């Protein structure tokens, strides 16, 4: 079931990206094809969402990685982090969001995309074991990282990030959904919050913002 949802989400993101590219090719001021990966840096950072001005420090945390080892947000200092709070049984928003990040990174050259870490923190840790998270994230990109932990550990992170979730009541077969924010957050190389990325943001805008933040850190 989850594989079908992921494949459907990736197909939808791809079709939207193709349509947008065709529109761009017919418009004035098109993207310079000589730029790396066909994506120019955003002339105004924050095209993908809300820009934090000034950028505050991102709340640190340590959770469990896909291999069962502890992973801290600070482990990624010096690189860019795209942080999302979701879960593997999510029927729509999560696969669409991760699919958009996959498409955005695919548009960037390796020297840029290799400096971006897409991380999903599970809001449903009772079902999302490290093994489950690993299999799910690999459906999008083997470099994507899934983090989980005990319910208390995850809830502490959610509180630190002011993330509101509502876990539903299991039905007769134990299935339930979790209401959670659809936005994601971009953290820069210095561990600062830079952008709250809007749900259903365009692939081009997301890729441009990610590229801009990577380039800022290499100057």
pLDDT value at residue 16: 45
- Residue-wise pLDDT for 26-35, tens only, equals 444 333 333 3
d(CA 90, CA 82) in angstroms, rounded, equals 19
Report the half-sphere exposure of 145 (CA within 13 A, side-chain side): 21
CATH fold, domain 2-217, is: Glutaredoxin (3.40.30)
Q: Mean pLDDT check: name the lowest of 29-38, 55-64, 183-192, 206-215.
A: 29-38
Helix ranges (DSSP H) in the chain: 2-25, 93-106, 110-113, 130-138, 151-160, 203-217
pTM of the model: 0.84
pLDDT in tens, 112-122: 999 999 999 99
CB contact at 8 A, 150 and 70: no
pLDDT at 78 over 80: yes
How far, in whole angstroms, is CA 148 from its chain's centroid? 15
Least confident of 19-28, 69-78, 151-160, 196-205: 19-28
């Amino acid at each position: 079931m989850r594989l079908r949802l992921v494949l459907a989400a990736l197909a939808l993101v791809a079709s939207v990206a193709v349509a947008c590219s065709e529109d761009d090719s017919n418009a004035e001021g098109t993207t310079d094809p000589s730029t790396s990966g066909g994506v120019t840096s955003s002339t105004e950072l924050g095209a993908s969402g809300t820009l934090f001005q000034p950028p505050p420090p991102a709340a640190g945390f340590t959770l469990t990685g896909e291999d069962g080892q502890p992973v801290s947000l600070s482990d990624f200092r010096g690189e860019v982090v795209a942080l999302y709070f979701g879960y593997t049984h999510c029927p729509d928003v999560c696969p669409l969001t991760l699919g958009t990040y996959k498409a955005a990174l695919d548009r960037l050259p390796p020297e840029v995309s290799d400096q971006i870490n897409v991380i999903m923190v599970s809001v449903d840790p009772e079902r999302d074991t490290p093994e489950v998270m690993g299999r799910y994230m690999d459906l999008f990109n083997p470099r994507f990282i899934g983090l989980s932990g005990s319910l208390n550990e995850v809830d502490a992170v959610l509180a630190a990030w002011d993330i509101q979730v509502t876990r539903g009541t299991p039905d007769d077969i134990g299935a339930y959904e979790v209401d959670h924010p659809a936005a994601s957050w971009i953290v820069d190389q210095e561990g600062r919050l830079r952008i709250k990325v809007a749900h259903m943001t365009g692939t081009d805008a997301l890729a441009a913002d990610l590229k801009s933040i990577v380039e800022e850190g290499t100057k």
